[in-house]
Amino acid sequence: MKRILIVDDEPHVSRVLKLTLERAGYAVRTEPDGQAALASVLAEPPDAMITDIQMPRLNGRELMKMLHELMPERLFPVMVMTSMTAREEREWVREMPGIEFLEKPLSPRQLVARLNRHFGNESTIGGVTSDV
Amino acid sequence: MKQDHLGLTMICATLAAIALIVAALVFRQTTEHEKRVHAQGVGLTQSLASLPFDQLANGPEQAGILQTMVRVQRSPAFAYGLLVSPTGAKLVEVAVASLPPDAALPQEPAGWFGERELRSPEDGRRIIEFHGPVMRDGNLAGFVRIGYFATPPLLGLEQISFSALLALPVFLLTPLFYFLMRREMKPLAALGRQIQDMAPSLDAPTARLPANPQLDDFVQRFGQFLHATETRIRELEAERLTSVTSNRLLAYKQGKVEAVLHSLPQGVLVMDESCIVTFANAKLEPLLGASRDQIIGQAPQKWCSNRDVLAFLVRHQGHGSPSGRTTQTEVAVDGATPRQIELASYPLFSPQDHGNIFGTLVVFRDVTQEHLAKNAGAEFVAHVSHELKTPLNSLAAWSEALMDVENLTDALRVEAANVIHDEVQRMASLINNLLNISKLETGALAIEPQRVNLRDLLRDSFESLRQGGLGKGIEFRIEVPPNLGLAALDKDLFRIALNNLLSNAIKYNVPGGRVTLAAEEADDQHLEIRVRDSGIGIPAEHRERIFDKYFRVTDSAADGVTRSGHGLGLYLVKQIVELHHGTIGVRSEPGKGTEFCIRLRKQTTPFEEAIAA
Quick: pLDDT tens for A55-97: 877 888 888 888 888 887 777 889 988 776 666 777 777 777 7
Residue A46: which pLDDT band, with cuts at 50, 70 and 90? Answer: very high
With 80 as the cut, is the pLDDT of residue B332 above it?
A: yes
Return the minimum-mean-pLDDT range out of B322-331, B542-551, B559-568, B592-601: B559-568
CB contact under 8 A, A107 and B412: no
- Please report the number of interchain residue pairs, chain A to chain B, with beta-carbon separation below 8 angstroms: 67
With H, G, I as helix, E, B as strand and everything else as coil, classify residue B339: strand
CB contact under 8 A, B394 and A19: no
With 80 as the cut, is the pLDDT of residue B611 above it?
A: no
Q: How confident is the model at residue B63, as a pLDDT? A: 54
Assembly ipTM: 0.84
In angstroms, the CA A103 to CA B109 distance is: 186
Cross-strand partners of B277: B271
Q: How confident is the model at residue B329, as a pLDDT? A: 83
Q: For residue A132, is it within any domain? A: no
Residue A128: which pLDDT band, with cuts at 50, 70 and 90? Answer: very low
In angstroms, the CA B352 to CA B354 distance is: 6
On whether any CB of chain B is under 8 Å from the CB of A102, the answer is no
In angstroms, the CA B419 to CA B398 distance is: 8
Q: How confident is the model at residue B559, as a pLDDT? A: 55
Residue B309: which pLDDT band, with cuts at 50, 70 and 90? Answer: confident
Q: How many Å is the Cα radius of gyration of chain B?
A: 70
Cross-strand partners of B587: B595
Residue B323: which pLDDT band, with cuts at 50, 70 and 90? Answer: low
Strands A99-103 and A78-82: parallel
Which residues on A lie below 8 Å from B394 (Cβ)? 10, 12-13, 16
Q: How confident is the model at residue B237, as a pLDDT? A: 94
Report CA dihedral (A4, A7, A11, A13) to the nearest 10 degrees: -70
Average pLDDT estimate for B284-311: 84
Which amino acid, residue A120? G
Return the minimum-mean-pLDDT range out of B82-86, B368-372, B378-382: B378-382
On whether any CB of chain A is under 8 Å from the CB of B388, the answer is no
CB contact under 8 A, A19 and B412: yes
Closest CB to A12 among B385, B404, B423 = B423
Q: What is the pTM of this model?
A: 0.47
With 80 as the cut, is the pLDDT of residue B453 above it?
A: yes
Residue A129: which pLDDT band, with cuts at 50, 70 and 90? Answer: very low
Q: How many CB atoms lie within 10 A of CB B520?
A: 13
Q: For residue A21, is it within any domain? A: yes
Average pLDDT estimate for B528-548: 87
Distance from CA of A56 to the nearest CA of B (A): 6
- CA distances (Å), B484 to each of A23, A114, B330, B494, B523, in order? 57, 62, 56, 17, 12
With 80 as the cut, is the pLDDT of residue B233 above it?
A: yes
Q: For residue A112, is it within any domain? A: yes
With 80 as the cut, is the pLDDT of residue B419 above it?
A: yes
Q: For residue A131, is it within any domain? A: no
Q: How confident is the model at residue B550, as a pLDDT? A: 65
% chain B with pLDDT above 70: 86
Distance from CA of B431 to the nearest CA of A (A): 19
Average pLDDT estimate for B549-561: 59
Which residue of B lies nearest to A12 if distances are taken between CA atoms? Answer: B394
E strand residue ranges, B96-182? 114-119, 126-136, 139-149
Q: How confident is the model at residue B211, as a pLDDT? A: 59
Distance from CA of A129 to the nearest CA of B (A): 11
Check: CB of residue B487 under 8 Å from CB of residue B601. yes
Question: Bigger pLDDT: B155 or B141?
Answer: B141
Which residues on B lie below 8 Å from A106 (Cβ)? 393, 396-397
- Which residue out of B381, B402, B404 would a mutagenesis test of the A interface target, given it has the greatest number of A Cβ atoms within 10 Å? B404
Residue B242: which pLDDT band, with cuts at 50, 70 and 90? Answer: very high
| A125-A127-A128 Cα angle (round to 5) | 115
- CATH 3.30.565.10 in chain B is located at 446-610
- CATH 3.30.450.20 in chain B is located at 2-155, 264-366
With 60 as the cut, is the pLDDT of residue B339 above it?
A: yes
To the nearest whole number, what is the mean pLDDT of chain B?
80
Q: For residue A34, is it within any domain? A: yes
Distance from CA of A49 to the nearest CA of B (A): 18
Residue-wise pLDDT tens digits, B560-585: 555 556 667 888 899 889 888 899 99
CB contact under 8 A, A85 and B561: no
On whether any CB of chain A is under 8 Å from the CB of B400, the answer is yes
Which amino acid, residue A61? R
Number of structural domains found in chain A? 1
Distance from CA of B446 to the nearest CA of A (A): 36
On whether any CB of chain B is under 8 Å from the CB of A80, the answer is no
Q: How confident is the model at residue A132, as a pLDDT? A: 35
B376 CB contacts (<8 Å, ≥6 apart)?
Answer: B549, B550, B551, B567
Q: How confident is the model at residue B153, as a pLDDT? A: 60
Which residue of A lies nearest to B382 if distances are taken between CA atoms? Answer: A86
CB contact under 8 A, B397 and A106: yes
Q: For residue A97, is it within any domain? A: yes
- Which residue out of A13, A21, A35, A128 would a mutagenesis test of the B interface target, given it has the greatest number of B Cβ atoms within 10 Å? A13
Q: How many CB atoms lie within 10 A of CB B271?
A: 24
Q: Which of B426, B331, B354, B443 is nearest to B388 (CA)?
A: B426
With 70 as the cut, is the pLDDT of residue B252 above it?
A: yes
% chain B with pLDDT above 90: 8
**Architecture of domain B264-366 in this structure:** 2-Layer Sandwich (3.30)
Return the minimum-mean-pLDDT range out of A15-24, B343-352, B580-589: B343-352
B600 CA to centre of own chain: 57
Distance from CA of B315 to the nearest CA of A (A): 35
A71 CB contacts (<8 Å, ≥6 apart)?
Answer: A41, A42, A45
Average pLDDT estimate for B38-59: 78
Q: How confident is the model at residue B3, as a pLDDT? A: 56
With 90 as the cut, is the pLDDT of residue B441 above it?
A: no
Q: For residue A129, is it within any domain? A: no
Instruction: For the domain made up of B372-437, give the CATH fold.
Output: Helix Hairpins (1.10.287)
On whether any CB of chain B is under 8 Å from the CB of A28, the answer is no
On whether any CB of chain B is under 8 Å from the CB of A128, the answer is yes
Which residue of A lies nearest to B389 if distances are taken between CA atoms? Answer: A105
The yes/no answer on whether domain B446-610 falls in CATH 3.30.565.10 is yes
Which amino acid, residue A74? R
- CATH 1.10.287.130 in chain B is located at 372-437
Average pLDDT estimate for B167-184: 79
CATH of the domain at A113: 3.40.50.2300
With 90 as the cut, is the pLDDT of residue A7 above it?
A: yes
Distance from CA of A65 to the nearest CA of B (A): 20
The CATH number of the structural domain formed by B2-155 is 3.30.450.20
Which helix (H) or strand (E) segment is B52 a member of? none
Q: Which domain holds residue A21?
A: 3-124
Which residue of B lies nearest to A24 if distances are taken between CA atoms? Answer: B407
With 70 as the cut, is the pLDDT of residue B28 above it?
A: yes
- CA distances (Å), B315 to each of B308, B329, B410, B564, in order? 11, 12, 75, 47
B332 CB contacts (<8 Å, ≥6 apart)?
Answer: B308, B338, B339, B340, B341
